[in-house]
Amino acid sequence: MTEAIVRVCWKCGKRFIKDDGCNKMVCPCGAMMCYICKKGIRGYDHFDGNHPPKDPRKCPLWSNSVITHAEEVRAEVLRLQEELDPSVTLFHNPLQDLPEVSIVVH
Active site residues: 22
Greatest alpha-carbon span in the chain = 46
The DSSP call for residue 51 is S
Q: What is the DSSP letter of 5?
A: H
Residue 68 identity (one-letter amino acid): T
